[in-house]
Structure 1
């Protein structure tokens, strides 16, 4: 089984620019109403779909309202990525921090309002 999360949004161009230029994602597929992106190591994908598109069933017409969703991206070197994103003037929503349970992370937000938690998990 493979999971591909999706967000219904009007902001396909902004989303493409954010994920490819800020996070280094690649484009798996795109057309005028659908964008499928993959993580740099191609281990996961996320898709974005225009709302109210006539090719889609009604279930997939309503746009995401910008709240109540987050993604977690696990990285090996969270400190370096944090510094790289700061150098690109990416807005940091939660500053780099260590949690009592050992994880080190920070958070940013995509153009659709999706929170992105970038984390280095502590060894268990």
Structure 2
């Protein structure tokens, strides 16, 4: 039996890019179905089996940020409270996104970003 939210699976991997149009053309050429965004958007999402491959625009300097892993949980707000109780400082409070997910981000001790999310009903 677990206390609090349960980890349910890997939802998405998000990569940063300086050139969204070029990156979108690359993934479309490989056959990734476009689900959200596109060449002129700041955020784009492709289908990847039961998961997603996301792209986000990085506009400042070299790409030093590798990306983000999105992990689905049973309850985003409970996971947020669990992080706070453990002394972990998320980068923001949970919020609803236009791509139909509730989420928040936290970085591990080495700077890898994790996003805990749940699709909105």
Fold in common (TM above 0.5): no
If the length of structure 1 is used for normalisation, what is the TM-score?
Answer: 0.43
Larger strand share, 1 or 2: 2
Between 1 and 2, higher relative CO (CA 8 Å, sep ≥ 6) is seen in 2
If the length of structure 2 is used for normalisation, what is the TM-score?
Answer: 0.44
